Amino acid sequence: MARRRNKNLSEEDYLEIQEFVYSKNVEEDKFLTSMSVNYKCKNENQGKVRDSIRNNEITIVSGLPGTGKTFLACAEALKLIKSKPKFKKILLVKSVTQLKGEELGHLPGDIQEKFDPYMGSFVDNFEKIIGESLTSKLRELSLINIQPLAFVRGRSIDNTIIIVDEAQNISIDNMRTLMTRIGDNSKMIILGDVKQKDIRNKKDSSLEIVLDRFNEIEGFGCVELRNPEDVVRNPIIKIIEEVFENIG
């Protein structure tokens, strides 16, 4: 069915917009077709995370630092927007209001510039997978977008892979709001570590609760990367975790 032209637009403006949208879609399709996303799971639990993302609408992952949870989420999101036309973009969501007392309003620049410093974990992983220049191109084409948690309220997010980080710092009420934003033809990947709560009242943390309550419900996948052998980054991380486990 043909798209109706807004009566407030001249024919010339309408055609110019249509031409822009068409050229942008062609560029996106060409770019995604040429993009290569290759990786291998390093252990059984990483395979469970990968399979859950592929097979469920919502995947909830809690894991120790260095277990590769963010890397896996980013890699699978790239593969999905490349191979499944119904997925149009990746949306990165992170709660930052509790971190070190820093508020976004205290930083210079627009919302993207304010939020960029908090998105390093995502950007680093995208760059590991497809390189710095391709990551920049994805962001330029708006195939990767970033969003503070506070700005998600009221939206219905369609045709999108939504990756949520630092879920241990999201309250129950905010997690409910966030999870109900998922729209048609979308997937949501929720990441966190139940041992790294920066939220003011740790009892308000939602991650452990959603892991428990949504486990074994159809359409949801819950995976925990809690064993030292799940750590696949620098081996010294295992030692650090063991030492801190014995403190106090």
What's the pLDDT tens digit per position in 19-43? 544 455 656 666 676 677 888 899 9
Q: Per the domain annotation, does 196 fall within a domain?
A: yes
| pLDDT per residue as tens digits for the range 160-170 | 999 999 999 99
Is 205 within 8 Å of 199 (Cβ atoms)? Answer: yes
Q: Per the domain annotation, does 6 fall within a domain?
A: no
pLDDT-derived band at 8, boundaries 50, 70, 90: low
Among the listed residues 232, 213, 244, 210, the one whose alpha carbon sits nearest the alpha carbon of residue 70: 232
Q: Per the domain annotation, does 169 fall within a domain?
A: yes
Q: Per the domain annotation, does 129 fall within a domain?
A: yes
Query: What integer pLDDT is reported at residue 196 of this predicted model?
Result: 83
Among the listed residues 169, 165, 202, the one whose alpha carbon sits nearest the alpha carbon of residue 60: 165
CB atoms < 10 A from the CB of 189, how many? 27
Q: Per the domain annotation, does 2 fall within a domain?
A: no
Q: Per the domain annotation, does 30 fall within a domain?
A: no
Is 4 within 8 Å of 191 (Cβ atoms)? Answer: no
| pLDDT per residue as tens digits for the range 138-188 | 888 889 988 878 778 778 899 999 999 999 999 999 999 999 999 999 999
Q: Which domain holds residue 122?
A: 44-245
Q: Per the domain annotation, does 10 fall within a domain?
A: no
User: What CATH number does the domain containing 200 carry?
Assistant: 3.40.50.300
Q: Per the domain annotation, does 15 fall within a domain?
A: no
Question: What's the CA gap between 156 and 160, in Å, rounded?
Answer: 10
Domain count, the chain: 1
Cβ burial, residue 165 (10 Å; 0-12/13-18/19+): buried
